[in-house]
Each structure stands twice: as C-alpha cells, then as structure tokens.
A and B are shown apart, each in its own frame.
Chain A
Amino acid sequence: MASVLVLVEHAEGKVKKVTLELLTAARALGEPVAVVVGAPGSAAPLVDALAEYGAATVVAAESEDVEKYLATPQVAVLADLVAAESPAAVLIASSAEGKEIAARLAIRTGSGILTDAVGVDGDGTATQSIFGGAVVVKSRVRTGTPIVTVRPNSVSAEPAPTQAQTRSVDVTLDDAARAATVLERVVEEKGSRPALTDASIVVSGGRGLGSGDNFALVEALADSLGGAVGASRAATDAGWYPHQNQVGQTGVTVSPQLYVAVGISGAIQHRAGMQTSKTIVAVNKDPEAPIFELADFGVVGDLFTVVPQLTEEVTKRKA
C-alpha cells in the first residue's frame, strides 16, 4: 500500500487535534506516515498519540535549526520523503504556515496543490468550499504528488490504534532554505482560550457591542463554552478587538461545530468566513439582520441582557 505523508502539527509535547483529523483522512488514501519536524526530542512524546490514530510509521526529523527558519525545514524533509517514497499524497493542516509549506513543496517537487480541503476521497480528490462557502467543488491534482492542505474541524478524528515504527531522518537545509531567519517568536497574548482557526466553538462579536470594553461579554460567553473569540471586521476596524481575531473574507475562515454571532449583522464578507460552521446561532436586535438567514437558532433581542443570561445558563448547566 502506498504511503501518505502527514505533516504533524505539535506544540509543547502534544499533537494538535488537526493532525489527528489528517491521520483519519489519510487512512482512506493509504498507509499514514506521520512526519514530525521539530527540535531534538520533539517526536518521542508524540508517538503514542500518532499511533492511536493510525500512523504506521513516525518519521522524526529533528534539528536545532527547525525553530530558526520559516517553512523551509518542513519543506526540505517532506521533499526528501516524496522523492524516496513516492507517496499517494501529502496532507498538511491548512494553517498560514501549513499552506506556505505546501506551496513551496509543490514548486520543489513539481506537483499540484489543493488548499483548504474540507474532505479528501480515497482517490485523492479533495472537496473545497469556495467563494466563502457559496459553492462546493471537487478538485484533483494532475501533476506530481497531490499536496493537499486540510481545514481544521472538517474531518472528525477517529482512533485506529496501531503499532508505529519510528525512524529518524536528517534535516538538510541549503542556502536558499536559510535565506530568511526567525529572530524571535513573540507571544503577545497567551490565554487559556483555544486558537481561533481550530477551535470547536467560536463566539464572535460585532458592531452591536458598541465598544472594546463590551467584548468582555463575548469573552465570558466564550470561556463558559470553552471556545475561541472572533470579531467582525467592523469591530476590528474600530480597534475594539485585535485584527488577528477577525473572521471573514479578509480575515480568518473558521468552520467550528458551533458559531455564536453576537451583535453581528452578517454582511456577505463576514459570512464568507463562517458559513460552513456546523451550527450557527445569533443574537441581534435587528430582526432583519442577514445573519438570521444562516442561523439555526436566533434570538432577536438586546445582546446586553441575552448574552449574560446565556453565559450564566451555560455555566450553570456545565457545572
């Protein structure tokens, strides 16, 4: 059986959820090979979790260099493996860096690339949701090795325990791979909240909040649900919430199990970033707000009373 390379996303000794989703998708295509690129010692703590989700092989590509460069170490390792193994496909998480790794790998290996897949079939055909979710297409790669980036939360991770074989490979970087160096990685806000792009629950606030201070309501609801916080463009443009939290056409695209829109009218550019969410609920005082056309459940009312009541209710029921 052909192998399928899965680039492992990991942090602080843990495998990120999206990687388990990728391993699940990979099993339909061939035998999953989990590729860990990281600092020395990063692969060992991940092996059990990777094997639990069906990784037949774990490749450890460890080097002190990995943290110093952007995308190029992963590209170097994957390109070597593509050449050696002729895999059926390479699956990478559809994060900003994941897409860049995929992009460089496509050029390096003379392959086609499909980004932001929400599903991958056994023959490598990917399903993509385009134009902000208005159209669904199936696409395939015609040249080289299919390189597919998969959007977090689009495949549900299913365990398939196996014994993983572990082997090590070198990280060999040429001059071009060292052309840009990462001087430092700065964490500006490290909270307990999950990251927006791969959160299962996202609570977003918009113009209706009226001020940055009022985002505390959105944060409290997000915390009660264990979700991430997003914002509409109106809110980020007004400086009420950090730009990197913007959900929409020019911001982040999310596809969580639950999306809660608070004081967001639902302009087309916002919908483009969230309308593939599994369940959408909305609170807005305007009954005509377009967000209600998408909502599975909507409350027409004052968010300043509805949202705190919801937060209290969620907290009570989860206790």
Chain B
Amino acid sequence: MDIVVLVKQVPDTWAERRLSESDYTLDRESVDAVMNEIDEYAVEEALRLKEAHGGEVTVLSMGPERAAETIRKALSMGADKAVHVSDPALHGACAVQTAQTLAAALGTIPHDLVVLGSESTDARLSVMAAMLAEKLGLPQLSGARKVEVDGSTVTIERQTETGFDRVQGSTPAVVSVVEKINEPRYPSFKGIMAAKKKPVQTVTVADLGLDAGSVGLASATSEVVEMTPRPPRQAGQIVKDEGDGGVKLADFLAAQKLL
C-alpha cells in the first residue's frame, strides 16, 4: 500500500509568533521552525500502516527551502522518500491555493492513502483533508483516532465531542488524524543517518503544471487587511487564600453577574 504523508513546517508554538508587517503573511524568519506537531502522528500512522500492509511512504510538503529540515525529520522517522514543493511563487498562498497545489503534486505520486494531521498549529484552519477530498473526489476520512485497513476498505473512528463516528471508504482515500491516535516514535540515530541518503525531489509550481500567477499572495482567495496585537488583559485581582478563597471567588463571580 503506497502512502503519501503530508507534513508542514510551522513556527514553534512555544515562541511568540507574528505576521510580517509588510504583507501580513506568516513571519517564518524570526522564530524557530518545527514540524507541525500533529504531523508527527500522521507520519507515525503512515509508518505503522506500511509496517502492517507493506508499500512505501512518501513525504509531501509544500513550503520554503527551510522546510527541508521538517522533511528530513519525517524521513529520519522512517519514511522512504519525499517530494518538496518549493517555489517563491507560493509565498502567501491561501488554503484553497494550497489544496490546489498539493492536489496537483498528489497527481504525480502513486497513492492508496493520503495521511495528514487534522490541523496545523499556525493557521489552524483544519480544512486541508476536506479540501483535498473534495478536490480529488476521494473519501474524506477525517479526524481519525483509529485507522483500520482491510484490503481496499479503510475504516476510521472519527473523534467527536461525545464519542466517535465510524466512517468507511475505499482506497484511494484521504485520512486525517488526531493526536489521540498513537505515540510518535523518535528518530533513531540510524534513522537520522539513513535519512541523509533518502531521495528528496524538489518541484516547482511549473513542474506541477500550475500557473505561478494563480498560486500566491497576489491571487489568494482571501487576504488579511488589518492586524493589531491583542491589547494585554488588564491586570486582575490576585488574593492569597486565607481560608475564604472560595467565598471570595464566588463574590467576584456574583459581582460580575456570572452566578
């Protein structure tokens, strides 16, 4: 079973993140960059499915040159090869353009499953699995906390607020995973060394048959028009419990008309 796993490099969530002042796109330069956390679970799930069913795991990532570090990490975890869509024309691409680009790239890589994380920690749209399924006409098996493959039938447990939905489709399918699904492995020393020799193919939008003018900021389907840092919250009242902390808290809630 051939699996493509999507990974995204994002600013570290422990850092103070910002938009660039000049064009309101994500400032990727001023902060540490890491693999989007949930993508580690996607890579892990892809590797487990490969271990159980055979085949190859190909990493697909769209991002600037620096995203090669994140691709390398996925390879060091055990993925076999990678395709890196990197092109200055993609700067400022919106979600719709990103889906178009990834869909075009998926057209060049054989796949029975496309596995991705349920959301990225930078944009937090949680839309990519649905967009790719719509674009490619494939089953959308999203928000999975469990994935089972039996021949060409894929069944997931989709996490919901009150339990789960069992959702089924046939390969090829798009599967997005939530954090609950597994415990991602750490790259081993051997894995890190092996990753250096694994093939990474870098492609441009032209290589994918896309028009460079249709994929970046200038033609994005949405735009940020204004940005303001959130005003700091006004300092609150902090009291030390003298045996009546609970009562004082209730007094505060009552004064705020919250009781």
Contacts and interface: CB of A to CB of B under 8 A. Distances in A.
Interface in A266-281: 268-269, 272, 275, 279-281
A134 B17 contact: yes
Given A99-B125, A302-B241, A250 B179 contact: yes
B222 interface: yes
B245 interface: yes
A292 B230 contact: no
A137 interface: yes
Contacts of B131: 103-104, 106-107
A188 B99 contact: no
B249 A281 contact: yes
Interface residues of B, number: 85
Contacts of A180: 133, 139-141, 167-169, 173
A139 B224 contact: yes
B165 A301 contact: no
Interface in A299-319: 299-302, 305-314, 317-318
B130 A137 contact: no
B162 A190 contact: yes
22 contacts: A70-B140, A70-B142, A99-B125, A99-B130, A100-B129, A103-B130, A107-B96, A113-B96, A133-B230, A135-B17, A136-B229, A141-B221, A176-B137, A180-B167, A182-B165, A185-B163, A190-B162, A269-B14, A279-B258, A295-B238, A299-B248, A313-B250
A197 B227 contact: no
B158 interface: yes
A122 interface: no
A257 B159 CA distance: 26
A153 to B, nearest CB: 14
Contact of A138 (B94, B145, B226): B226
Interface in B235-249: 236-241, 243-249
B204 interface: no
A70 to B, nearest CB: 6
A63 interface: no
A17 interface: no
B249 A283 contact: yes
A184 B166 contact: yes
B89 to A, nearest CB: 17
Contact of B133 (A104, A197, A297): A104
A52 to B, nearest CB: 24
Nearest to B252: A297
Contacts of A195: 161-162
Main secondary structure on A side of the interface with B: mixed
B160 interface: yes
Contacts of A311: 246
Contact of B245 (A96, A103, A283, A295): A283
Contacts of A212: none
Contacts of B222: 112-114, 139-143
B180 interface: yes
Tell which of B134, B164, B169, B239 has the most Cβ of chain A within 10 Å. Answer: B134
Tell which of A131, A182, A307 has the most Cβ of chain B within 10 Å. Answer: A131
A50 B159 CA distance: 29
5 closest pairs, A vs B, by CB? A301-B241, A309-B246, A112-B221, A103-B127, A188-B163
Contacts of B259: 225, 314, 317-318
A310 B250 contact: yes
A168 B28 CA distance: 48
A142 B179 contact: no
Contact of B249 (A107, A129, A136, A310): A310
Nearest to A253: B124
Contacts of B141: 180
